[in-house]
Each structure stands twice: as C-alpha cells, then as structure tokens.
Structure 1
Amino acid sequence: MNMIPSVPLDGGILLKKIIAYRLGYNSANKIMTVISAVFSAMIMGLGIYVMYITKFNFSVLLFSALMIGNIFTQSEKYNVDLIKTLMFNNKKKKSVRHIVVENECNYCDIVDKFIPKDYNMVYVVSDDGKVKDIITETQVIDKLTTEQVL
C-alpha cells in the first residue's frame, strides 16, 4: 500500500523525484497532484464499497481522506528535497541551464525553475531587457538556506 504512486506515500515521493529530475519541480508537482487525486478517488471509491459491504470497516475511507487532504496542503515555500539535491549533487552535473527572470522575481520562484541534473545560472533582466545581475545556483541555495525568504 505504501508504494502506491500518490504523493504522501513513498511511491509517490519516489515518482515525484524521478519526474522532477527530468522535467523540473513545477511540472513534477502538477503531474503528481493529478496522479494523487486519481488514486485518492479510486481508494475513496474502494473505501465506500468496503464500508457498504462490511457496514463497519471504515479504515480505507479514512486513509483516502488523509490522501485527499494532503493534496490540498502540499504547497511549501520552497521544496526542501530539491534544495538538498542541488546542494549535494554538484559533482555529477555536466550541462548548464540558463534561466532568465524579471527584476521582481523572488528566490522561491527562481528555485522552482531549477532542474537538478543541470547547473542552473540565473540572469536577472530589467524591464528594458538588459542583464542586471547573474546569480549562480549556489548563491540561490545559500540565500534560501541562510536567510528567511518569503
């Protein structure tokens, strides 16, 4: 039961990390929300069926309620697993990914665009399109881990 590919379970966390490695955290989060909702609905249907048949056993129904509740509460300021992956996998990275953000973009939005298999370089541009600053992946991680960023 724990390996069902739904987010609060180990199978879902594993699948989310695999998807995030290839497509990025935002895409993985969206895909896993849909997959988790489908599995939660299926388990809720099973729970209703079991409750109807046994007239007593409601544990599967409670489990599905926990999974559905987790879908709505899984948003974080930034993804701790993504930060850990970025911090400790620098030796394996071979290619560079260039990310362009507007002047007002905060660090939490920037880290959501990172893909762990690449080294990420961030170019901050002004309204007229000129590069104002270049931020490395390490600088973003340091900012998120050492300061309270909202």
Structure 2
Amino acid sequence: MQIGRIFGVKIVFNWLFFFFLFFYALMGRLAESVTLFTVVLLHDFFHLLVARGYGLRVKEVELFPFGGMAHIDDLLEYDPMVESRVALAGPLFNIFMVGAAIIVYTNSHILAQELLLFFIRCNLLIASFNLLPLLPLDGGRVLRANLSKRFGYRKATEQAVLISKIMAVIFFTVGILGFYYGAVNYSLLLIAPFIYYAAHREQNQAAYVFVRYLNRKHRELDREGILKAGYIVALEDTPLKEIIKQFTHKNYQMVLVISPGYKIKGTVTEGQIIDAVFKRGSHLPIKNLL
C-alpha cells in the first residue's frame, strides 16, 4: 500500500508492517507502534539520502516492521563498496539519533520521558537488528557485498540467503521452545517468518537483476528510437568493477580491450560484462571475457 512520496520516491507499506502495528495496538501500545513506524521511516529516509548522494535512482522504499527495502533502479549490486555504504547508512543514522535523544533526555524535563526512552530503545533495536548478517537486513547486504567480491552477486546472494533461512529456523525453534517452557518471546516468533519470507523474496528478485537491467536499456531504446553506443578502452588486466564505473544510463557501452603494448585484443559488450560481474565477481580482469 502506497502512503505517499518523498523526493518523488514512493513509500510503500508491506503487509507485515500492518500486522505488527495491529498487534501492538491490540496490546494497548499504539504510541509505541507509531514511534516504531517513525524510527523505521527515518532509518530508510537516510538510506535514500545516501543512495541519492551516489547518484542512484531510487524507485520506491518498502517498509517492513524492522526496517525497509529501497528498490533502486540502478545496478547497485555491481559495486560492493557502494552497496555496503548505502546499507550501513540506516544503522549509523539510528546510532546518531540515540546520541541526540540522550542529550535531549538529560537536558530537558518537558518532553515525555518515558516515550523518549522508548524512542532510544527503538533506535538501538533497529540499528542492532539491521546489523545482523541476514538478508534482507542491512548487515546481510554488507555480507553479500563482501562475498560478491569473490564469488559474484548471484552466488553471494544464494549463500547469504541460505544463512538467513537457517537463522530464521533457529529463531523460530528457540521461540517455540521458549513458549513451551514458559519463557514466551513473541518477537522471535514474529521475526523468524519475516526473515525467512523476505530472504526468499530477495533470492527470487536477485535472479532477475541482470534481466531487469538489460530490459531497461531496451525500453529506453524503444522509447527514444535510438540509443547511443559508447566505446571504452581498457587494458586487459583492468578489473570489471573499474570498467563498470564508466557506464552511463543513456549509452550502450562497448569495451575495446588492449594489451600493455597497446595491441587490440578484442571487444567486449556491456551485457557480457554485467553478466560476468553477477556470475563471477567484479574483481575479474576483463581479459577473462575474451
């Protein structure tokens, strides 16, 4: 459900968010649920700002109970460093908010102290939870970014998803055991299905990232009737991540590969490079594609 736009970016509620809000409202904690919603929105707003700072086009932000997912209309995944920084922006902002709230709490007696303490706990919860190395959480994105340097985006996603699903099953099992022994922890019972569902969806979406990228190029060609081709000259030992940095939205790039002696070794297309990055990693020298 779309609730509005920020800087032209659609803000969308996932159905799980409504479930959590309704659950806490039934428990008589409506003010806390609204505070949680505000913290999550600020968390994702900072993701959005950092993504925009890198020149990325954000299509929409989908809000989950413990964070959100920015749907970026660019190949964020080909640059692990950028993906890591965008992912870490949210938790770092929550930590900043904790510091600011503590200053307000210790120097003001006007604001509702109890609600302010809950605001601090919310930020700590959102920051620490999102730093867990599980997809689709921010920590999981950092994990995938680091794995993709070695294995490529697709295999890195599969490994991160496997870890996430195993941990979701463990969380749910611990929650059930706690319920059986009288130490009820509703959070684990609610979080586990969320992680499993979201990780599975992330796995399905990852399979189509490369296809979506090329389809967007095709749509631009169909819409404009023309798409400029650009040539890039690269030494044969240049890693793919450096070449991709030169790609632009409006051009379809052709890369002329040359030897150290400036002899032409061959030509590699943009599509071949993007496909190789997702399958084999961004540190692969371009000569391996010839």
TM-score (norm 1): 0.54
Match 1:69 to one of 189, 197, 209: 197
Deviation digits for residues 105-142 of structure 1, max 9, x if unmatched? 9998565325223464796xxxxxxxxxx8xxxxxxxx
1:115 aligned residue: 281
Residue pairs, 1:40-51, within 5 angstroms: 40-51=168-179
Match 2:186 to one of 42, 49, 58: 58
1:32 aligned residue: 160
- Distance (Å, rounded) in 1 between the aligned partners of 2:196 and 2:246: 33
User: What residue identity is the alignment partner of 2:150?
Assistant: R
The structure where helix makes up a greater share of residues is 2
User: What residue identity is the alignment partner of 1:30?
Assistant: E
1:4 is the counterpart of 2:132:
yes
Deviation digits for residues 38-80 of structure 1, max 9, x if unmatched? 111111112212333447542211100101111221122206x
Identity of aligned pairs, percent? Answer: 24
Runs (5+) with no aligned partner, structure 2: 1-128, 211-240, 248-267
User: What residue identity is the alignment partner of 1:35?
Assistant: I
Return the structure number with greater relative CO, CA threshold 8 A, min gap 6: 1
1:131 aligned residue: none
The 3 A distance-change label for structure 1 pair 47 and 108 is: farther
Deviation at 1:35, TM superposition (A): 0.8
Instruction: Specify the SS of the correspondent of 2:168.
Output: helix
Say how many residue pairs are matched.
107
The 3 A distance-change label for structure 1 pair 120 and 46 is: farther
The 3 A distance-change label for structure 1 pair 88 and 49 is: farther
Preserved CA contact (<8 Å) 1:78 1:108:
no
The 3 A distance-change label for structure 1 pair 119 and 62 is: same
Deviation at 1:2, TM superposition (A): 2.5
Instruction: Specify the SS of the correspondent of 1:11.
Output: helix
The 3 A distance-change label for structure 1 pair 106 and 72 is: farther
User: What residue identity is the alignment partner of 1:116?
Assistant: S
TM-score (norm 2): 0.31
Larger radius of gyration, structure 1 or 2? 2
1:14 is the counterpart of 2:142:
yes
Preserved CA contact (<8 Å) 1:6 1:35:
yes
1:78 aligned residue: 209
Preserved CA contact (<8 Å) 1:26 1:113:
yes
- Distance (Å, rounded) in 2 between the aligned partners of 1:6 and 1:31: 10
Deviation at 1:19, TM superposition (A): 0.1
Preserved CA contact (<8 Å) 1:43 1:61:
yes
- Distance (Å, rounded) in 2 between the aligned partners of 1:22 and 1:35: 17
Preserved CA contact (<8 Å) 1:50 1:58:
no
User: What residue identity is the alignment partner of 2:209?
Assistant: Y
- Distance (Å, rounded) in 1 between the aligned partners of 2:279 and 2:134: 23
